[in-house]
Structures are given as C-alpha cells and as structure tokens.
Structure 1
Amino acid sequence: MGVINSPLVEGRVFSEEVNKKEVTVNGANSNKKSVRITIILHTLFAIISLLLYIVSYTVLCDLKITFLYFRRAV
C-alpha cells in the first residue's frame, strides 16, 4: 500500500503514512462528533437556563404584584 518506513524511532520502525491516515480519518471524525455533541449540549443548557430564568422572573413578579395588592387592601 505504499508505506514508507522511517528509521528506527525509540527502538521501533515507525510507519508515517499509515499513522497519518489513521489520525486524519479517525481523529477528524471523532473530533467532529465530539464538537457536535458539545455544541448540542451547550445549546440545550442555554435554552433550559433561559426558560428557568423566564419562569422564575414571572413567578417573582406575580408574587410582588400579589403582595402589593394585599398590602394595599389591608
């Protein structure tokens, strides 16, 4: 398959072409998948955080309005 072996590196024969192909094929695919997963997780976290913020803000505003209403009534 046209593999060129370089001289001994740390006591073993090192195949540059095969290792480069493995790194580019396997490494690139696994990196793309992990980047996609990371982006999806961060997006979900941001959406959930925003929804929780909106809900908590709405609840706090309702409580404040209710408190002020009953305070005036008494």
Structure 2
Amino acid sequence: MGVINSPLVEGGVFSEEVNKKEVTVNGVNSNKKSVRITIILHTLFAIISLLLYIVSYTVLCDLKITFLYFRRAV
C-alpha cells in the first residue's frame, strides 16, 4: 500500500491509497527473472572467456615449444 500526495488538487494536499501490484510472468516476479537471466548470461560469458584464454594460452605455448625445437634442430 502506498500514498499519493498531490499538491495539484484545490484546497490542499490530496491523499489516495494505492495498491502496488508486482508484475508477474508465469508466477515469477519479472525483476527477479531479469536479474536471474543477467546473472546466467554473465556467468556464461565468464566461462567462455576463461575457456578461450586457456585454449589460446595452450596453443601459444605449443607454438613456442615447436619453434624452439625446430630452432635447435637447425
């Protein structure tokens, strides 16, 4: 429940009780749902970034080892 105070009404302040209703989507609060989706997306982005870092580091190390091996062989 909330109160709206409006100075626009003649004769002073007008107060009216208002029922605040939360917007729900399939029984779940839409704000909670959007926060949950945001957390999931950030987590997926972090996991993908970590995997790309590991793969690129492994490839670079492998190339470095290969380069050093062939350099010694010459």
What's the TM-score, normalizing by structure 2?
Answer: 0.68
Distance 1:24 1:12 in 2: 36
- Using CA pairs below 8 Å that are at least 6 residues apart, which structure has the higher relative contact order? 2
Distance 1:29 1:45 in 2: 24
CA contact (8 A) 2:23 2:30 kept: no
Per-residue CA deviation, residues 14-44 of structure 1 (Å, 9 max, x unaligned), is 9965541246999981100000000000000
CA contact (8 A) 2:24 2:30 kept: no
Aligned length: 74
Q: Which has the higher strand share?
A: 2
Q: Which has the higher helix share?
A: 1
Per-residue CA deviation, residues 42-68 of structure 1 (Å, 9 max, x unaligned), is 000000000000000000000000000
Aligned residue for 1:4, secondary structure, equals strand
Partner residue, 1:3: 3
Aligned residue for 1:21, secondary structure, equals coil
RMSD: 5.2
